Chain A
Amino acid sequence: MGEITLEKMSDQYFDVLKELGNIGAGNATTALAQMMQCKVDMSVPQVRLLEFKEMGEMIGGEEIIMAGIYLAIEGDVTGSIMFLLEKQAARHLVNKLMGMQIEGEEFSEMEFSALKEVGNIITGAYLNSLSSLTNLVIYPSVPDLTVDMAGAILSVPAIQFGKLGDKMLLIQTQFFDDMVLDGYFILVPNLDSYGRILSALGIG
Chain B
Amino acid sequence: MGKVIKVGMADLNVCVSPDSITTLGLGSCVGIAIRDPVTKIGGLAHVMLPDSTTIRNNTNIPKFADTGIEELVKQVVARGANRSRLVAKIAGGAQMFAFQSTNEMVRVGERNVAASKKKLAELKIPVVAQDTGKNYGRTVIFYPETGDFVIRAVGKPESVI
* Chain A residues at the B interface, C-beta cutoff of 8 Å: 3, 5, 52-53, 55-56, 61-63, 65, 68, 70, 72-73, 78-80, 105-106, 141-142, 144, 146-156, 158-160, 162-166, 190
CA distance A144 to B48 in the complex (A): 21
Instruction: Tell me how many residue pairs across A and B have CB atoms closer than 8 Å.
Output: 118
Which residues on A sit within 8 Å (CB–CB) of B99? 72, 141-142, 144
A166 to B59 CA separation, bound complex (whole angstroms): 9
Q: How far is the CB of B157 from chain A (nearest CB, A)?
A: 15
Judge whether A55 and B9 touch: CB under 8 Å.
Answer: yes
Stretch at the interface among B22-30, B33-41, B75-83, B125-133: B22-30
Q: How large is the interface on B (under 10, 10 to 19, 20 to 34, 35 or more residues)?
A: 20 to 34
- Pairwise interchain contact A72-B8, C-beta atoms closer than 8 A: no
| 0/1 string, B105-135, CB within 8 A of A gives 1 | 1001000000000000000000000000001
Whose C-beta in chain A lies nearest to the C-beta of B112?
A159
Majority secondary structure, B binding face: loop
B45 to chain A, nearest CB (A): 13
Q: Nearest 4 pairs between A and B by C-beta?
A: A151-B25, A152-B137, A155-B27, A152-B27
Residues of B within 8 A of A146 (CB): 96-97, 135
Residue B146 lies at the interface, judged by CB distance under 8 Å to chain A: no
Q: Assess whether B159 is interfacial by the CB under 8 Å rule.
A: no
A162 cross-chain contacts in B, Cβ below 8 A = 10, 48-49, 63
- In the complex, the answer to whether A165 meets B94 with C-beta atoms within 8 Å is no
- Taken together as a complex, chains A and B put the C-alpha atoms of A79 and B101 apart, in Å, by 7
Task: Decide: B10 and A155 in contact? CB cutoff 8 A.
Answer: no
Interface of A is mostly: mixed
A52-B154 in contact given A152-B26, A163-B55 (Cβ < 8 Å): no
Are A62 and B24 within 8 A (Cβ)? yes
Contacts A142-B99, A166-B57 aside, 9 further interface pairs with beta carbons under 8 A come to A5-B57, A53-B10, A56-B25, A149-B139, A149-B154, A151-B137, A156-B100, A160-B105, A162-B49
> Chain B's nearest CB lies how many Å from the CB of A3?
8
- Once A5-B57, A159-B29, A164-B57 are accepted as A-B contacts, the answer to whether A148 and B9 lie under 8 Å apart by CB is no
| Cα-based distance from A158 to B55 in the complex (angstroms) | 15
Docked-complex contact A163 and B49, CB < 8 angstroms: yes
